[in-house]
Amino acid sequence: MQRQTRVVLTDDQVCVETPWLQGQIEEMLIERGASAKSLEELWGISLEELWNKAERGEVSFGVCKSSSRFLIFKDVVFLRIVSSRTQAVLVQVTDEGGQWPTTQRLLHESVWCAARRLTRQQLGLEDASLHISVRALPLAGKTMPQGILERRWITTAMVPESLEHLCNDIHAAEL
């Protein structure tokens, strides 16, 4: 089932517009003085690719309130997991070093829901094994190679002392 409407949401910095159909995305681009051709030139992505990403909830569209600039953006959630006594923290080791586990927030999810999905899918943890904070803090954003703005959020989860046995399969480094 395809959605038939465009939804406009507002946060402190961005007026988010969510067109659901490919024609609505093209219409939105034209309203903003862009075209499918400029989309490929500016962002290196075709209208069809962009629509597919939007349909999967991987990217959103908006207008920056301060500059009126049209934006294509995605949200990334970092999950800081600390031990019950806050003596250790879980990190993923990458070629660039360590980082907190991450996932992309899908359009229909809150930051908390994305963090919960991350704990289930990437870490294989049960819902009860962590207490995830509902308060998410924004981190500095980053512009990706295709010109897509990556908004970053961090939330914290704590392993309750009585439930540490549920997290035996993940290992944390001492702080």
| Rounded mean pLDDT, 36-41 | 73
Residues ≥6 apart with Cβ < 8 Å to 162: none
pLDDT bin (cut points 50, 70, 90) of residue 144 is: low
What distance lies between CA 162 and its chain's CA centroid? Answer: 31
pTM above 0.75, yes or no: no
Q: Which residue has the higher pLDDT, 67 or 145?
A: 67
Which CATH number is associated with domain 74-174?
3.90.79.10
Other CB atoms within 10 Å distance of the CB of residue 105: 25
As a whole number of angstroms, the distance between CA 130 and CA 166 comes to 9
Tens digit of each residue's pLDDT (9 = 90 or more) over 56-110 = 888 888 777 777 777 788 889 999 888 777 766 767 777 777 788 889 998 888 8
Please state the domain extents for the chain.
7-68, 74-174
